[in-house]
């Protein structure tokens, strides 16, 4: 319940950017459907191109915004609103991590639905045999168990856990700069270097641990391989989450 | 006593904001924390509110270390505006109601009305005087055991000051303690039980206001001028 209230305000703090993203996706879709109605393939192509670039930009921005919000919560006076509430730093950071995870996942699902709609409309209107074949082939692969659902789920899990791990490593680095590095010159740069170094070390740990055990080219190992990567990412998330919360509890002054 | 601090130190880089102070705050009294800007008043209050971690020393509220338990009972109002930019006056009330069990929504609405604020106003667009009134309304709508008000009269015009002081005094009850910092000493002199003079992070003088007046043969305002002149 406590976490839900904290998460509610995390969502509220970042609501404006979601509205802007929604509005822009709406405009791109309007352009796309204008192309459909007027039979202008160049307009449709342009809209799909913009949507593709925008998707990557928006997903990257969402993760970045969670990090910026955390940084602001340590550096701006509005941090009092958060840190005066009678909650442990573990609840506060936990709410931020969960809110970030939910936002990224929901945004991914939302973009998937937009793409599905556009493709369905294209196929419906133009009977695009080639496109239909690709989709049918894809579905056949999925349902004939050539590609199983767990394969897709494992890949999606790796993407999500990697993103969340990146966010918590960033939280950890920012908190370090506000505590143990508070008196260091260029602490922002130092914390960024720590962020890069931690991600590199975590990447090396994964590669060293799994690289020798699993042959990535062996398709049968894919689910287990990606599941173990997700597990590693989850561990890194927990370690950096606990580290961040501990520093906030014991060392941070806002 | 309810708030107890011993050898409390807070250092920022090479600057020492609080320099080993020790004192107790008793229940049911109004304390004035006096001193010029940079004397350490705000840092002390922030430590007691749990926003700033001391470099060394201890501070406890009713035997509890400063943390979630004490934040439920201590209402702190900072001197700076601190509401989120997106918030309206109504949003501030909802936020406090969501997080503080002792928040009284009806009292908040009453105080907002008294302060001539509008629930639909955005906090970031308020003038400094209205923003100060909003902070006071949100803080005093809590039924806290200890209120710490950092410069509550800052930005408040001379006409509205009486209204603010009356509102603050309404919170003062037998079991409620108030710790008020201000450089407007003459405004506080009339209402305080105790005075704590802070100078360069140290306690320069402290005691019951009446005792200090009798002992030194001077008013609190005169003592202030003597200590900081």
DSSP string, A91-155: HHHHHHHHHHHHHHHHHHHHHHHHHHHHHHHHHHHH--HHHHHHHHHHHHHHHTTSS-HHHHHHH
Amino acid A138: pLDDT: 67
Residues of chain B neighbouring A252 (CB-CB closer than 8 A): 53
Band the pLDDT of A222: cuts 50, 70, 90.
confident
Q: How far is B149 from B158, CA to CA, in rounded Å?
A: 18
Residue A88 pLDDT exceeds 70: yes
Phi, then psi, of B134 in degrees rounded to 5: -65, -45
Which of A12, A84, A251 is the closest to B51 by Cβ? A84
Strand partners, B65: B60
Give the B window 28-47 contacts with A, CB below 8 Å: 46
Band the pLDDT of A10: cuts 50, 70, 90.
very high
Residue A68 pLDDT exceeds 60: yes
Sign of CA dihedral B154, B160, B165, B168: negative
Which of B53, B69, B78 is the closest to A253 by Cβ? B53
Residue A102 pLDDT exceeds 70: yes
Which of A5, A252, A253 is the closest to B99 by Cβ? A5
* Contact (CB<8Å) A78/B13: no
Phi, then psi, of A52 in degrees rounded to 5: -65, -50
Both tokens assigned to B165: 């002081």
Task: Return the ∠ at Cα A53 (arms to A51 and A58), rounded to 5°.
Answer: 85
E strand intervals along chain B: 3-12, 15-25, 30-34, 56-61, 64-65, 74-77, 146-150, 177-182, 194-199, 202-208
For the ranges A42-56, A191-205, A209-223, the lowest mean pLDDT is seen at A209-223
* pTM beyond 0.95, yes or no: no
With 0-12 CB in 10 A as exposed, 13-18 as middle and 19+ as buried, what is B182? buried
- Contacts A–B by Cβ distance under 8 A: 57
Q: What is the dihedral of CA B106, B107, B108, B113, to 10 degrees?
A: 90
Both tokens assigned to B197: 């003079």
Which of B53, B69, B71 is the closest to A84 by Cβ? B71
Q: Is B15 on the interface with A (CB under 8 A)?
A: no
Give the mean pLDDT of chain A. 87
ipTM of the complex: 0.89
pLDDT, one tens digit per residue, over A139-148 is 676 665 566 6
Residue A219 pLDDT exceeds 70: no
Residue of A nearest to B52 (CA): A253
Amino acid B229: pLDDT: 82
Q: Which position has the token pair 């573990």?
A: A90
How would you write the pLDDT of chain B (229 residues) with one tens digit per residue?
899 999 999 988 788 999 999 999 999 999 999 998 889 999 999 999 999 999 999 999 999 999 999 999 999 999 988 999 899 999 999 999 999 999 999 999 999 999 999 999 999 999 988 999 999 999 999 999 999 999 998 888 888 888 899 999 998 888 999 999 988 888 888 899 999 999 999 999 999 999 999 999 999 999 999 998 8
Residue of B nearest to A73 (CA): B84
Residue A43 pLDDT exceeds 70: yes
Q: Is B175 on the interface with A (CB under 8 A)?
A: no
């Amino acid at each position: 319940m406590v976490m839900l209230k904290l998460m509610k305000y995390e969502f509220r703090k970042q609501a404006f950017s979601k509205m802007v993203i929604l509005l822009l996706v709406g405009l791109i879709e309007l352009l796309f459907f204008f192309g459909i109605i007027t039979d202008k393939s160049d307009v449709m192509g342009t809209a799909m191109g913009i949507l593709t670039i925008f998707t990557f930009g928006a997903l990257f921005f969402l993760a970045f915004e969670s990090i910026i919000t955390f940084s602001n919560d340590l550096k701006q006076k509005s941090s009092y609103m958060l840190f005066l509430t009678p909650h442990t730093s573990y609840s506060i950071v936990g709410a931020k991590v969960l809110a970030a995870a939910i936002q990224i996942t929901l945004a991914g699902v939302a973009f998937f639905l937009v793409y599905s709609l556009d493709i369905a409309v294209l196929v419906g209107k133009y009977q695009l045999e080639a496109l239909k074949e690709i989709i049918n082939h894809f579905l056949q692969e999925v349902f004939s168990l050539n590609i199983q659902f767990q394969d897709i789920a494992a890949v999606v899990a790796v993407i999500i856990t990697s993103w969340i791990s990146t966010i918590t490593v960033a939280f950890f680095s920012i908190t370090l700069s506000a505590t143990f590095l508070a008196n260091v010159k260029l602490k922002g740069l130092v914390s960024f270097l720590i962020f890069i170094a931690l991600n590199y070390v975590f990447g090396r740990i994964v590669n060293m641990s799994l690289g020798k055990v699993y042959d990535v080219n062996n398709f049968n190992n894919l689910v287990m391989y990606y599941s173990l990567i997700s597990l590693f990412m989850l561990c890194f998330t927990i370690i950096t989450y606990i580290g961040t919360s501990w520093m906030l509890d014991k060392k941070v002054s806002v | 006593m309810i708030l107890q601090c011993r050898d409390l130190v807070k250092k920022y880089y090479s600057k020492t904001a609080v320099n080993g102070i020790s004192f107790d705050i008793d229940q049911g009294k109004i304390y004035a924390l006096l001193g010029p800007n940079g004397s350490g008043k705000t840092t002390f209050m922030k430590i007691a509110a749990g926003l700033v971690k001391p470099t060394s020393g201890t501070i406890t509220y009713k035997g509890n270390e400063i943390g979630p338990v004490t934040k439920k009972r201590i209402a702190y109002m900072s001197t700076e505006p601190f509401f989120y930019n997106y918030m309206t006056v109504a949003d501030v009330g909802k936020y406090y109601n969501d997080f503080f069990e002792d928040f009284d929504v009806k009292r908040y609405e009453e105080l907002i009305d008294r302060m001539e604020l509008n629930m639909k106003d955005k906090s970031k667009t308020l003038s400094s005087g209205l923003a100060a009134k909003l902070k006071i309304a949100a803080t005093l709508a809590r039924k806290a055991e200890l209120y710490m008000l950092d410069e509550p009269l800052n930005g408040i015009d001379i006409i509205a000051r009486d209204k603010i002081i009356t509102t603050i005094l309404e919170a003062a009850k037998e079991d409620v303690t108030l710790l008020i910092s201000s450089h407007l000493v003459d405004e506080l002199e009339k209402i305080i039980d105790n005075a704590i003079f802070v100078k360069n992070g140290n306690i320069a003088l402290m005691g019951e206001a009446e005792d200090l007046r009798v002992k030194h043969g001077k008013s609190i305002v005169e003592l202030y001028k003597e200590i900081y002149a």
